[in-house]
A and B are shown apart, each in its own frame.
Chain A
Amino acid sequence: DQQVKQNSPSLSVQEGRISILNCDYTNSMFDYFLWYKKYPAEGPTFLISISSIKDKNEDGRFTVFLNKSAKHLSLHIVPSQPGDSAVYFCAASARSGSARQLTFGSGTQLTVLP
């Protein structure tokens, strides 16, 4: 049973427009959420995060929104650029025993068309 779900395996957006990537989770113990970006043949790189005490966090062109009641978060990229084309993973963190663990979604392939 996947605790973090990204229901759209792919998304195509025109350059300059907004990209919206969605993520749903089921575990109410998750209290920290992160987005990672992955290019082919590279490891995932951290993009932006949000704590459960907030509902929005912004960093340049990237904004993450968290709706705790709906157990839903989204990543907005505006304006989208061709270099943003990559796989985006949503991840959620919860305290587990003596450590924190990250649980990843299955990823969304974003393609930004020039």
Chain B
Amino acid sequence: DTEVTQTPKHLVMGMTNKKSLKCEQHMGHRAMYWYKQKAKKPPELMFVYSYEKLSINESVPSRFSPECPNSSLLNLHLHALQPEDSALYLCASSHNVFRIATNEKLFFGSGTQLSVL
């Protein structure tokens, strides 16, 4: 199993809603990531979890709240979002955040396309 599974694939929410994005991997990876990608822009790192602990927070507004319940799951809780937060949210995983090897790479999910009205 080399998949990173993200749900839902599409989400439309109002500015007062609370919703959650979910991500799951069963590759035994100990690092998991949230990226945000706007149209025609590169993916931008939001959060990194290493061994279920938040390792990096790229100055993301508090209306985005990540959670890593266990080594296979990563959630992103959304509350009071703005229309400019509409984007593709990508989850990724890797063996670990320290690894420097010829096969170091991230495995990405298909993303959740989020629209905030």
Contacts and interface: CB of A to CB of B under 8 A. Distances in A.
Contact of A101 (B40, B45, B100, B105): B45
Contact of A32 (B48, B97, B104, B110): B104
A101 B4 contact: no
Given A32-B100, A99-B56, A100-B98, A43 B45 contact: no
Interface in B53-78: 55-56
Contacts, number: 66
Interface string A36-61: 10000111111001010000000000
A28 interface: no
A9 B108 contact: no
Interface stretch (A11-19, A68-76, A104-112): A104-112
Contact of A106 (B42, B108, B110): B42
Interface residues of A, number: 27
A34 B42 contact: no
Contacts of B97: 98-100
A106 B45 CA distance: 13
Contacts of A89: 42-43
* A contact patch SS: strand
A63 interface: no
Contacts of B108: 36, 43-45
Contact of A49 (B4, B31, B98, B105): B105
Given A98-B97, A100-B97, A101-B56, A43 B90 contact: yes
A45 B105 CA distance: 9
Interface of B: 4, 6, 31, 40-45, 48, 50, 55-56, 90, 92, 97-100, 102-111
